[in-house]
């Protein structure tokens, strides 16, 4: 029992690092919103799919927030912590609800998570950062980022499910 928790904790740390690196690897600034488009959503969703809602949400939230801090977007860090955590939580919960249909569950779960991300950043930018309705300018960029992350995560998740050890361990 303790070993299972330790393995999940180590995997969560790995996925946090992967989320951070994937976010930082290709970072395309969006001058209109002071944000950026990145590839981290794929890692956040994959961690949620493989680790479940608790560990997956923690990994995605912490790794993505760390990337914001390291890239100089500290103003986004609190929002990212909450938004990416909720994104991963929702994705994992939907996948769990559709556990007998892993492809549909990962697609619908990932789409749900990405919608949380897009509208979460809109709300954060419009209210906390004070951009008002001008924050809507970030929706297309976040949507593109979400779509790329969704496709990548679902493809990798389905490929990994071909391995019995991953298939059996995945919730």
Phi and psi at residue 30, to the nearest 5°: -115, 95
Per-residue pLDDT tens, the chain, 171 aa: give them: 588 899 999 999 999 999 999 999 987 777 765 667 788 999 999 999 999 999 999 999 999 999 999 999 999 999 999 999 999 999 999 999 999 999 999 999 999 999 999 999 999 999 999 999 999 998 998 998 999 999 999 999 999 999 988 777 664
Q: 135: which residues sit within 8 A by CB, 6+ positions away?
A: 33, 121, 122, 123, 125, 126, 129
Residue 108 is encoded by which pair of tokens? 């619908």
Domain count, the chain: 1
Domain that holds residue 130: 2-169
CATH of the domain at 33: 1.10.1760.20
Secondary structure of residue 35 in the 3-state scheme: strand
Helices 138-160 and 40-51, packing angle to 10 deg: 40
Q: What's the pTM?
A: 0.93
């Amino acid at each position: 029992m303790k070993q299972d928790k330790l393995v999940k904790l180590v995997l969560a740390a790995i996925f946090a690092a992967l989320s951070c690196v994937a976010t930082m690897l290709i970072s395309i600034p969006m001058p209109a919103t002071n944000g950026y488009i990145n590839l981290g959503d794929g890692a956040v969703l994959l961690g949620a799919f493989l680790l479940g809602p608790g560990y997956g949400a923690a990994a995605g939230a912490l790794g993505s927030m760390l990337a914001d801090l390291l890239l100089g977007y500290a103003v986004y860090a609190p929002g990212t912590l909450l938004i990416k955590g909720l994104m991963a939580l929702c994705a994992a919960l939907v996948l769990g609800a559709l556990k007998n249909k892993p492809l549909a569950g990962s697609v619908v779960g990932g789409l749900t998570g990405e919608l949380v991300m897009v509208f979460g950043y809109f709300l954060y930018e419009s209210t906390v950062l004070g951009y008002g309705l001008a924050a809507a300018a970030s929706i297309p960029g976040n949507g593109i980022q979400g779509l790329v992350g969704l496709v990548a995560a679902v493809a990798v998740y389905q490929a990994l499910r071909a391995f019995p050890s991953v298939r059996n361990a995945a919730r």
